[in-house]
Structure 1
Amino acid sequence: MAVLHLMVGLPGSGKTTRAKALAAETGALRLTPDEWQNRLFSDDMHHPDHDRRHSEIEALMWEIATAFLGAGGDVILDFGFWTRAERASFARRAEAMGAQCRIHYEDIALDELERRVSARNATAAGGHFVIPLDNLRQWAKVFQPPDAEELSGRFTA
């Protein structure tokens, strides 16, 4: 049975690092929107079209994921999945295709996220956006960490 892996967390939480390791371990197709967006638009974090572009890239990636899951392949979506409702929606989509859905999440304290993002910002290398810490702090207020039910594969929203 195909598996849809959801990488959950805020910037700096290690999602992409874990997604790369998981892809190497399982052979799953890894889809990371930030890599595509940086390649197409460079660091457009403050561009008025950033969010629209990001949403369009994620929609394209979901189309690719659907085809891959439908063919029996595993897929890793490195989207962040900040809300329970979004995670539940993707889990329902996977289930409708006969695939399982698994969450990958590590609980990282905000001060550690700030440290990691600051270090990444200082180098601005590796295809990362420069993320102001004020943005990260605002995002942390809306982020909904997965609960035990979600982590065990039961999605409700």
Structure 2
Amino acid sequence: MAKVIMTCGNLCSGKSTYAEKLGKELRAVVLSIDELMTTVLGRELGDMHDEYVRRCEQYLYKKAAETALAGTDVILDWGFWKKEQRG
């Protein structure tokens, strides 16, 4: 059964570095919210930042579930700072 692994930690604590290393070891797909936000939306998000983060998280959760159901491990690379995000 495939796993979904969530990284958790403060800004600049090494989550992305760890996620990439673990992804190679496990042959897992790494889904990074920073990568998605920067690639699609750029860095100038202004007042819409929190809304875009919410939308990207929803999208990545959906893709993580699809990937795991297809039999591949997934690593979610974002902070999960709020307790309700980890539950």
> Please, what TM-score do these two structures have when normalized by structure 1?
0.52
Percent identity over the alignment? 33
Distance 1:8 1:57 in 2: 17
Amino acid at match of 1:87: R
Distance 2:28 2:61 in 1: 14
- Report the 3-state secondary structure (helix = DSSP H, G, I; strand = E; otherwise coil) of the residue aligned with 1:54: helix
Shift of 1:18: 0.4
Q: Identify which of structures 1 and 2 has the higher relative contact order when contacts are C-alpha pairs closer than 8 Å and 6+ apart.
A: 2
- Report the 3-state secondary structure (helix = DSSP H, G, I; strand = E; otherwise coil) of the residue aligned with 2:47: coil
Corresponding residue number in structure 1 for 2:34: 34
Amino acid at match of 2:43: D
Unpaired segments ≥5 residues, structure 1 = 89-157
Contact 1:28 1:74 in 2 (8 A): yes
Distance 1:60 1:5 in 2: 16
> Please, what TM-score do these two structures have when normalized by structure 2?
0.91
Query: How large is the Cα RMSD of the aligned pairs?
Result: 1.2
Pair 1:74 & 2:73 matched: yes
Corresponding residue number in structure 2 for 1:98: none
Unpaired segments ≥5 residues, structure 2 = none
Contact 1:38 1:44 in 2 (8 A): no
For 1:89-128, what aligned pairs fall within 5 Å after superposition?
none
Corresponding residue number in structure 1 for 2:56: 57
Amino acid at match of 2:39: R
- Report the 3-state secondary structure (helix = DSSP H, G, I; strand = E; otherwise coil) of the residue aligned with 1:44: coil
Shift of 1:44: 2.5
Shift of 1:75: 0.5
Distance 2:53 2:84 in 1: 19
Corresponding residue number in structure 2 for 1:16: 16
Amino acid at match of 1:77: L
Distance 2:65 2:29 in 1: 11
Distance 2:85 2:6 in 1: 10
Shift of 1:41: 2.0
Q: Looking at CA atoms only, which structure, 1 or 2, has the larger radius of gyration?
A: 1
- CA deviations on 1:45-86 (whole Å, 9 max, x unpaired) are 5x0111111111111111111111112211100121113332
The number of aligned residues is: 87
